[in-house]
Amino acid sequence: MAPSVPRTRAASALRMKQIALDNQGRTIRRLRAQLATERRVLAATKKELEETRVALEASHKVIAGLTEIGLSMSKKIERMKAKKQQVRANHVECHQKFQARIHEAEDSMQAQHLLIEALVDEKDSLLQTIHGLQEANNAPAPFDGDWEEEPEEEPEEEEIEDIPLGEGEIDDE
């Protein structure tokens, strides 16, 4: 029984580390997809902000033109000024909201980037540990440094080696 225990533990530890790597790989792919989504949302937000800015600039030009034409009508001028101030306040508020969204998206992207880097570092560490365990067990290295996703398969049951019984050992079969 003694010779099979280290092999079984090592194989079990190796399998657990491979499962952890598979999980981290899936996590990294999910985070990359989220990062791509955040980038698309950020691009759409920036585009909306630019369209709003262009629309507001056009609105400001119209207001300025109407003001020049209607200088003789003081009531109309006062209404236009009030409207212009309201548009500016809305523009500032809108601009601040979009800036807050952009900053949130950038912070989220930065946090996800740091998380991805940490996961990649952890994956490298686990690969080195697996490689060390394989060298310690004189097992061939299944990884060459490039990680490729393998299709998920049903886990196969490991076969237990028949170990010849030594003198004085009890066979429970």
Tokens in use for 122? Answer: 């952890």
Residues in the chain predicted with pLDDT less than 70, given as ranges, are: 1-6, 70-72, 139-173
- List the domain boundaries for the chain: 6-136
Distance of CA 82 to the CA centre of its chain: 46
Closest to 101 in 3D by CA, of 57, 43, 54: 43
Instruction: Answer yes or no: pTM beyond 0.95.
Output: no
Res 71: pLDDT: 62
DSSP assignment, residue 145? S
6-136 has which fold?
Helix Hairpins (1.10.287)
User: So what's the pLDDT on residue 1?
Assistant: 47
pLDDT in tens, 114-132: 999 999 999 999 999 999 9
In DSSP notation, 44-68 reads HHHHHHHHHHHHHHHHHHHHHHHHH
Instruction: Summarize pLDDT for 128-158 with one digit per residue, the tens.
Output: 999 999 888 876 655 555 555 555 565 555 5
Q: Which of 28, 46, 40, 31 is nearest to 123 (CA)?
A: 28
pLDDT at 150: 57
